[in-house]
Structure 1
């Protein structure tokens, strides 16, 4: 367990794999911490420097008062890579993590040599939708959103599995300020124009049963970047790295090889 002090906000991060390997940065979704990526790690090839961190307001990172701006979340990722002396990373972002990845690539292309945009969009939902979720969380707690969130996040098959409780508990324990802060960042973000200016290798991944960021949204987003590729994981929802870790890792491994990053 390591802590990065970034302008007074402390972020919890972890590095696995080869300390001198090609850097691979993972950025997780709203309501999860970096354990989101645990299921796929055993299936990734050797020779990678795997970097994960908890966004502000999540996991063991600091939780400043809401709201947060997307630019602040992008700056957190940027400063972490600078602190670790990382350039030319492949950045894998899921949901809000994919939005942060887009913003980071637009701002600091020297830090990002390839993108994996998983279960995300250039814009996710509407301002009214996020205002409603923020209000519900403020009034009744984050747990009041758990049932609907699980139904959007997971396939029908996974909803019956005992492991669902792991992700529901993680979601419900997200600090109120962290959840509402990041929800506000999503609400205020529309990356259609900046993302359409990107020119770098990009892989899009969607789950066929994703009720949060449906496959068409993911495809529309990655299609903004010329030469990008889109892959659909069937019988998986918003977190295919959890439901289908081997299939997800296989897509990443192929993309790592295609881009010469492993």
Structure 2
């Protein structure tokens, strides 16, 4: 199980796939998932890119530090991975919490990234009360207490009915997430507000949103795209996990931007 240790001692689990010497693409998972959330994209991506996926701290097989986390720490984790693997520059794609991490990187480490893809994300999400209620529910009832509601926000009703195997795959990732890690990451989302800072991003950026996304709305996505100078905006008729719900369209659009 390949891991690197960050400067605060947290072990980050990662996978590096694709041809040696190809351009590096770092991919960052959403809250409550692990690096395997990107499996629908991998067969196509590894034809042209060296893909670095990792489990955000508190998720998957990465370490479980005390809560709460902060978005700057999540960004520094990406830089620690890149430094440990001798990657001076890369492209970055993050969804939801991963997209928030990408915004921080675009502001604070622009010299390390050649392109940013910010998917189904927002510069600020909800109110502290919303996140504190979510944290309390998990602390009381574990991950099972929130999975049904989360799945209803992550996928459209039509997809849930048509693709039960894919919905079950993501549900299993949610259930397997350690409650302490999930709550720690909820704290990072709760405390994040990048609405002003992202105006400083100059890295070529594409923002992907979902028309039916109830977690990070299309309005949120348009705000991010309009605030980052020159950002491209793409909207899919999907809910929150657009990379799963419309995998082929998502992958084609992602590769087109990265290779263009």
With structure 2 as the length reference, what TM-score do the two structures score? 0.96
Deviation at 1:223, TM superposition (A): 1.2
Q: Which residue of 2 aligns with 1:204?
A: 207
* Partner Cα distance (2:98, 2:194) in 1: 13
Matched residue SS, 2:224? helix
Structure 1 residue 68 corresponds to structure 2 residue 59: no
- Any runs of at least 4 consecutive aligned residues in structure 1 with deviations exceeding 4 A, and if so which? none
Q: Which residue of 2 aligns with 1:97?
A: 98
1:83-162 aligned within 5 A: 83-160=84-161, 161-162=163-164
Say whether the 8 Å CA contact 2:45–2:51 is kept in structure 1: no
Greater percentage in helix: 2
Q: Which runs of 5+ in 1 are unaligned?
A: none
**Aligned-partner Cα distance in 2 for 1:17–1:44:** 8
Displacement of 1:45 in angstroms is 6.4
Aligned to 1:169: 172
What do the CA deviations read for 1:156-179 (whole angstroms, capped 9, x no partner)?
112123221111121012101110
- Count of residues paired in the alignment: 257
- 1:244 aligns with 246
* Contact 2:91-2:113 at 8 Å conserved across structures: yes
Secondary structure in 1 matching 2:81 = helix
Unaligned runs of 5+ in 2: none
Contact kept, 8 Å, 2:19 with 2:46, in 1: the verdict is no
CA displacement at 1:155 relative to structure 2: 1.1
TM-score with structure 1 length normalisation? 0.95
